[in-house]
Structure 1
Amino acid sequence: MLSTSRRSNEYFSVTSANESLEKLHSTSRVLESGILPEFDDPLSSNRTTYSSSLSNSVTPQVTPDPGSNLGTAYNLGTLNRPFTLTDFVGNSDVSDIYRFNLASNSSFNLSLNGLTADADVELLNGNGTRLAISGASGTTSEWIDGSLNTGTYYVKVFQYTGNTNYRLSLSATPIVNGVRSVLGNLGADTFTWQSGFNRTVISGNGNVDFGRGALDTLNLASISSTTARLNLASANGGGVVYNPGNGARVFDAITLNNGNQVLFEGIDRIRFADRTINRFVRPNDPLFNQQWNLHMMGVHNAWQFTKGSTNVLIGVQDSGLGVNSSGNIHPELRTTYVFPGNNYIDDFRDVFRNINHQESHGTAVEGIIAARSNNGVGMSGINWTSPVYNIDVLGGNSGDLDIAQAAQAMINQANSQGQRLVINMSLGTPGLSNFGRTDIFPAFNQVVANNPNVLFVIAAGNEGHLGASGISYPATLASLYNNVIAVGASWGTRSANNFATTPGDRISYPGWWGSQYGTGLTLMGPSEVIAPYADRYGRFSYWGTGSIPGFNGTSAAAPNVAGVASLVWSANRNLSATRIKQILSQTAFDLGARSYDTVYGHGFVNADAAVRRAMAIGRGAA
């Protein structure tokens, strides 16, 4: 049986960088800066230059363009992992057809999102016979969900009215031993319960469409909640520990009156015949709905279990913090600890390159991780509770520490309070000659090696548009140490120049900047996002609002991952730094080639699944 969305009485269900690492903003864009201060070791006779990793192509249309008949369909091959494709239908191209194969009887899920006009989708068998069609009105998301046998199938996306880009997501999971497993993509998906399976396991995997009201939905509209037993997970118990193949996690559970069980994670809404239950936290910060990065990572789901803990310290090594004429930091930033003698105020000055910067890089980085939240003002941070320790290491200004000194100071502070420590470093060494190097600052390497229970989250670098493999130092240390995570940058639904993009794709702009890739790359995080903005004139605002572009580069991606890591550790402080890295890698949404690859690492970070994994380990799961 296949279920679909449909237009009333019309369609139906059928059985069926600012500059590179050195200059990560394009000089052609308003407010793009040379705010990328470099780091220099003032104690070394061999000066080492660092810059922050702040850094926006034509819509990545499917190439070659999918044909409009079965013989010219775009062939996806065997559907053995989630696929997302971004393209266009309209007056000049009325339909696109995709072909795929299933090697075994499988659960199948399809969603069509990102519409700005009315487009519909249908599923055909290998002979071209229609199995199901979804035709919701207007720009409402389309979906088809159900089970399919081994064979060849076609998906047809077609214009109903108008011209629109679309985002087509497909996934298929083999049905094994009576268990129906369904995987969502990074957008809004609808999962419909089907009879005939002892257990159904659903993973929503984040939802970049949440802010526009499209929710990851568990559709039980044919069932009354009075006939079902709910066992929803919380930080204090509930739920069912289950291993879907990539680590045991605490799933929400529903048992139906026939004994069938539905396990699920990453779901925004449960829809019964008689009521609806939400499974997310919505803070009252007015910019939250625009913070697609949080939704795409499933942070709004993970907040049900933790919003941070005082047992975890967040360290930020960056450019310092911008202040206004009264000497106050951005009001979006919580109370921040600083190192005595370190000039925490952003100097907006790169001594070694003789450059003045316009915007405070460190203000944006800290705000992504730990902005004040649920206070009815501005944006939401990922972590609402954990204390923050900020040390200025960029620019070579008076009072700046080097990265080894700063790391040790943060470690000393965390140890004195019995805290776990996550250190974010949105910085790196520019230049092709430095790609892949791990030997640039031995003193820092030694600090990392001596402190295996401190987690370092480091930007991979922004020179990936040059076409060479290799990430930036110190992110390269992820290939040597299990307590280092190297983070690349992924798009959401729109590029900086407002073209439609495929969520999760590695960001790369010819002639501007691209997320670096290569050995050691661990995870992908979102970039071009909302963040607190402070400039050298003492003015405060927000990146990604008004005429200010989103805060970008791997500088933006790293603090998104660091924030999620701090939530995972808050959910289970007994974990080691190595285990946190393993959990984030194990639960990430797979991108690129199946399993690990050096372009996407383990995939896109998934906050909800990672926190549920930490909770399961806390309950005794392996």
Structure 2
Amino acid sequence: MHNKANGIETETEGGVFPELSRGIIDDRVAWREESSNGITQAGIGRNNLQTNLIRGEHFFDRNLNLGSVFGLQRIFDASGDASKKEVFEDGALEISYNKNYLSSLKNIHAPKFNLWGGMSFNLPGSVSATVSATKSSTGEVVDLGSTTLNLDQNSFYVNLKDQLEASDSLLDRRSTWNIDVDIDATYANGLNINLEDFSENITMIDALDVGSGYRGDVSANTFTYNNVSWADSFDTGRIYRGRGGTDTLVLDDISKSDILEFNGSSVNQLGQSAAGGAALGEQAFYGGTVFDVLNLNNGDELYLQGIETISCEDGDIRIRANMSDSTKEQWNLQAMDVSGAWRFNRGSSDVVMVSLDSGIGDIAGNADDIDDEIDHVVNKTSKNTCALAKDRDHGHHSMSVMGARHDSQGIAGIAPGSQMWAYQVWDPGFHGAIEDAKADRESHERLVFQNGASWSLEGRWGPSGNTDSITEEQMMESLAETEDYGFFSVAAGNDWSRDGVSTYNLAHFQTDFGNIASVGAVQFTATDEIDNITNVTDTQIAGYSNQGDDLTLSAPTDSRAVNGDGDIRDFGGTSCANPNVAGVAALVWSENTSLSGSDVRDLLTYSAMDLGAAGRDDAFGHGMVNAEAAVRRSHALAENYELASFYTNDQFLA
């Protein structure tokens, strides 16, 4: 059955979770006070009761380990998943302390500095924690470093990347480590006073995440979990990463009743998020990004990205966002994992998608000249009166790929919740259109520019008929001013060139500016239907798509688009690939507006799916854009920047 709300068509299936507000976890969110950024969220849905309970610690001697006396625990897996004392290898720890207690002790023990006249004041000092780990089975000691504590907060993090190994042997993929914390105050005169010592055990887990059984590709994939396989029977962790297509995790011999929790809630409690799909709940922070967490009654813990369906012995559980029958035919959405990104958002009014293209066509006999799918477009220039429909419709097609709102029978754009502005770029020129958008932008708005049009004249940056008015230097100055709030997705060009991207639009500026991406076109060579959803089984770079060392990444072409008369067709060329990237960029920025334009490009390139030769290559660039992976990284940086930034944008797991 299909339902329609807020212009978005939804579907109901037997495996869809019952309706439940995403706010179900609001009473279980731990907050941290950040001195520079106000209040930020430390861990989604984590109970941090020990932070409050140890406020009574000042009644006891400073060296008393309250955890050993009252059973309180202060050293946890920082991921925020259900197993607080079990840490995936390369994870992180969160260690709690009582900021008021430590501040009081620091002041009590502070040396006095005496002034003339008998006046005195405490010497300034700082409080730091030194952390070490001892492996229970071997006695191996690892120094985990020291950190200066922020006494405006009640906890700090320790990055375990490349620090503690989980495996004791080939057949024992778990190990116990004793974590020792030594907290000292150091004063301006060099005096060092111990304020507190405590230690607790944690278990490191060597979570399996390598090989074809755990990582997917751009096509649909099926992963199988089997808890009786001899190879998997000595660990309790798995990391499954789907990469494009409708990916399914099959739980062999597991029924729904064998699932303890999904993202912190039982299966019969889970509902739909506001954006659609399974509620995000308690996402696990790991490797600089966030994962869905599936906890089984047998103790196994599974981290998931890019998984649309969990298949149990007694039926399927769909976690992807809602898709209508017409949406299921849009191969570009499946290939880029857009339905997974939609669980987080479908765009926002804080992000404006700016089309530097052929604008809105002036269609004879059509009073509106624009289809209802994109009637939220604000036209900023005169309409395009070109007699050739393919040129007149070009900008309309691009904008529908980015943001069509979907009326059940038409198409779904990637970020329908974002604003759109249309420029018929030959009137003001590239420079004039960009300057106009910059002037119209509100301070909180982020601009995602889509550039599919090109200019074959020298002096092409100025308006038509006045081609010498804007120099290359002026154009570059205009672009440089957008780095904090602008991102450009630009067609690489359709010139069959292997020597670089087009010089007749903004694509070649990707070399000069970190917030500009040149985009090549990926075609499908075969498809398959899975649950009535069109999935690609193979892809290739389009022969006409310009290639070279200045190609940033690639995206689907031949995507469904709509013109001003409501006619739906396949829109081709790199002209189609670049609005696909622009739509994904709008989702990334809608999740986290604190990102810069260069950050957005980083997230898109380093989460892209590798195609062609291993690593970056001149045909595909960094690979094909993956919406869910990029949005998950954006989400992690927004929710807990300190923890997520243990990994840089070119390191995070995606």
Q: TM-score, normalised by structure 2?
A: 0.57
- 1:616 is displaced (CA, Å) by 1.0
Match of 2:610 in 1: 590
Q: Does 1:458 align with 2:490?
A: yes
Matches within 5 A, 1:468-617: 468-472=499-503, 473-494=505-526, 503-508=538-543, 514-534=544-564, 539-543=565-569, 550-617=570-637
Q: Is the 8 A contact 2:561 2:571 kept in 1?
A: yes
- 1:274 is displaced (CA, Å) by 2.6
Deviation string 1:562-600 (CA, Å, 9 cap, x unpaired) is 000000111111111111111111111011222222221
- 1:384 is displaced (CA, Å) by 1.6
Q: Does 1:415 align with 2:442?
A: yes
- 1:358 is displaced (CA, Å) by 5.9
Paired letter, 1:407: I
Matches within 5 A, 1:142-221: 177-181=206-210, 182-195=214-227, 196=232, 197-207=235-245, 215-221=246-252
SS of match in other structure, 1:238: coil
- Distance in 2 between residues matched to 1:266 and 1:296, nearest whole Å: 11
Match of 1:307 in 2: 346
- Distance 1:306-1:357 versus aligned 2 partners, 3 A rule: closer
Matches within 5 A, 1:43-58: none
- Distance in 2 between residues matched to 1:297 and 1:445, nearest whole Å: 31
- 1:466 is displaced (CA, Å) by 4.5
- 1:305 is displaced (CA, Å) by 1.0
Paired letter, 1:425: N
- Distance in 1 between residues matched to 2:546 and 2:320, nearest whole Å: 33
- Distance in 2 between residues matched to 1:580 and 1:251, nearest whole Å: 20
- State which of 281, 285, 288 in structure 2 corresponds to 1:241: 285
SS of match in other structure, 2:441: helix
SS of match in other structure, 2:240: strand
Q: Which runs of 5+ in 1 are unaligned?
A: 1-148, 150-175, 208-214, 350-354, 395-399, 509-513, 544-549
- Distance 1:266-1:518 versus aligned 2 partners, 3 A rule: same
- Distance in 2 between residues matched to 1:461 and 1:587, nearest whole Å: 23
Paired letter, 1:523: L
Paired letter, 2:337: G
Q: Is the 8 A contact 1:242 1:250 kept in 2?
A: yes
Tell which has more relative contact order, 1 or 2 (C-alpha 8 A, sep 6+). 1
SS of match in other structure, 2:307: coil
Decide which structure has greater helix share.
2
- Distance in 2 between residues matched to 1:501 and 1:193, nearest whole Å: 24
SS of match in other structure, 2:493: coil
Q: Is the 8 A contact 2:393 2:563 kept in 1?
A: yes
- Distance in 2 between residues matched to 1:605 and 1:576, nearest whole Å: 18
Paired letter, 2:479: V
- Distance 1:225-1:494 versus aligned 2 partners, 3 A rule: closer
Match of 1:370 in 2: 403
Q: Is the 8 A contact 1:485 1:581 kept in 2?
A: yes
- State which of 356, 359, 371 in structure 2 corresponds to 1:317: 356
- Distance in 2 between residues matched to 1:225 and 1:236, nearest whole Å: 19
Match of 1:227 in 2: 258
Q: Is the 8 A contact 2:350 2:590 kept in 1?
A: yes
Q: Is the 8 A contact 2:490 2:507 kept in 1?
A: yes
- Distance 1:481-1:541 versus aligned 2 partners, 3 A rule: same
Deviation string 1:537-576 (CA, Å, 9 cap, x unpaired) is xx44111xxxxxx210100000000000000111111111
- Distance in 2 between residues matched to 1:486 and 1:331, nearest whole Å: 30
- Distance 1:428-1:494 versus aligned 2 partners, 3 A rule: farther
SS of match in other structure, 2:479: helix
Match of 1:289 in 2: 328
Match of 2:202 in 1: none
Q: Is the radius of gyration larger for structure 1 or structure 2? A: 2
- 1:359 is displaced (CA, Å) by 4.4
Matches within 5 A, 1:13-412: 177-181=206-210, 182-195=214-227, 196=232, 197-207=235-245, 215-232=246-263, 237-243=281-287, 248-284=288-324, 286-324=325-363, 325-328=365-368, 329-339=370-380, 342-343=381-382, 345-348=383-386, 359-373=392-406, 375-394=407-426, 400-412=427-439
Paired letter, 1:590: D
Match of 2:531 in 1: none
Moved more, 229-238 or 294-303: 229-238
- 1:331 is displaced (CA, Å) by 2.2
- Distance 1:575-1:242 versus aligned 2 partners, 3 A rule: same
Paired letter, 1:239: Q
Q: Does 1:449 align with 2:480?
A: yes
Q: Is the 8 A contact 1:422 1:562 kept in 2?
A: yes
Paired letter, 1:199: G
- 1:290 is displaced (CA, Å) by 1.6
Q: Is the 8 A contact 1:314 1:388 kept in 2?
A: yes
Paired letter, 2:475: F
- Distance in 1 between residues matched to 2:435 and 2:392, nearest whole Å: 27
Residue-pair matches, total: 396
Paired letter, 2:542: I
Q: Is the 8 A contact 1:313 1:389 kept in 2?
A: yes
- Distance in 2 between residues matched to 1:357 and 1:254, nearest whole Å: 48
SS of match in other structure, 2:519: strand
- Distance in 2 between residues matched to 1:256 and 1:236, nearest whole Å: 18
Deviation string 1:179-217 (CA, Å, 9 cap, x unpaired) is 23311111111100133243111111111xxxxxxx411
SS of match in other structure, 1:560: helix
- 1:327 is displaced (CA, Å) by 2.1
- Distance in 1 between residues matched to 2:252 and 2:285, nearest whole Å: 26
Deviation string 1:308-353 (CA, Å, 9 cap, x unpaired) is 11111110111121254242012221321133xx20x22115xxxx
SS of match in other structure, 2:291: strand
- Distance in 1 between residues matched to 2:391 and 2:548, nearest whole Å: 31
Paired letter, 1:611: V
Deviation string 1:225-254 (CA, Å, 9 cap, x unpaired) is 2222223396764221111xxxx2211111
Paired letter, 1:614: S
Paired letter, 2:236: N
Deviation string 1:244-282 (CA, Å, 9 cap, x unpaired) is xxxx22111112233221111111110122332112123
Q: Is the 8 A contact 2:208 2:237 kept in 1?
A: yes
Moved more, 578-587 or 180-189: 180-189
- Distance in 1 between residues matched to 2:494 and 2:352, nearest whole Å: 27
SS of match in other structure, 1:183: coil
